[in-house]
Chains A and B, each alone.
Chain A
């Protein structure tokens, strides 16, 4: 009963380094999302994927890229990390944009 699994849970990067956040869901949901959560800002949508093979920008896509590898997996890539990308990142999946099941988050610090 895993739900949505994110890796890694914690990461520290130096400015300019790249990394990929992994997300996988086992609920056969069509839609998957990446959010970032900053203090006092709530959750903001970075990218989403309504179905396998499609991705679209959300509210704050700059500096990120995504890949919907298959129905289960949706990865988020930072090509050149910046301190402004220090945040907690959540992956979520849902069916028909209803409830949304979240992963446990990745705490990323860029120094």
Chain B
């Protein structure tokens, strides 16, 4: 059974801090790993990491895939209150149950 584990499940920091969110996976036939940000409604796409693209950066957010350790991290520097959200990690596999296997998410709260 495919498994995606995120840590921590919740995190409270102050504005300006740097945070690192973790995602580890045990899946068959790994194809890619996705990070999403979910505020009040639907998850919105942040990054996709594959074997050929193991590091992505967009502004204050960056993500790295470690295929040897079967994990990924999402870094947010100089956090702002608008970064408060649930961050979801998902793995795309080529297995029979097509789709994304999600972790439980990290609930990040940025205090002013």
Contact = CB atoms under 8 A, between A and B. Distances in A.
Interface of A: 4, 31, 33, 35, 40-45, 48, 50, 56-59, 90, 97-105
A57 B104 contact: no
Contacts of A99: 34, 45, 48
A105 B88 contact: no
A51 to B, nearest CB: 11
B92 interface: yes
A48 B98 contact: yes
A33 B99 contact: yes
B102 A44 contact: yes
Contacts of B105: 42
B32 to A, nearest CB: 7
18 contacts: A33-B99, A35-B102, A40-B104, A42-B102, A42-B105, A43-B100, A48-B99, A56-B96, A56-B97, A57-B97, A59-B101, A97-B99, A99-B34, A100-B43, A102-B42, A104-B41, A104-B42, A105-B42
A84 to B, nearest CB: 18
Contacts of A50: 98
Contacts of A59: 97, 101
A43 B42 contact: no
Contact of A45 (B4, B48, B100): B100
B34 A31 contact: no
B92 A97 contact: yes
Contacts of A104: 41-42
B48 A98 contact: yes
B90 interface: yes
A42 B45 contact: no
B60 interface: no
B83 to A, nearest CB: 19
A31 B98 contact: yes
Contact of A105 (B4, B41, B48, B90): B41
Nearest to A91: B42
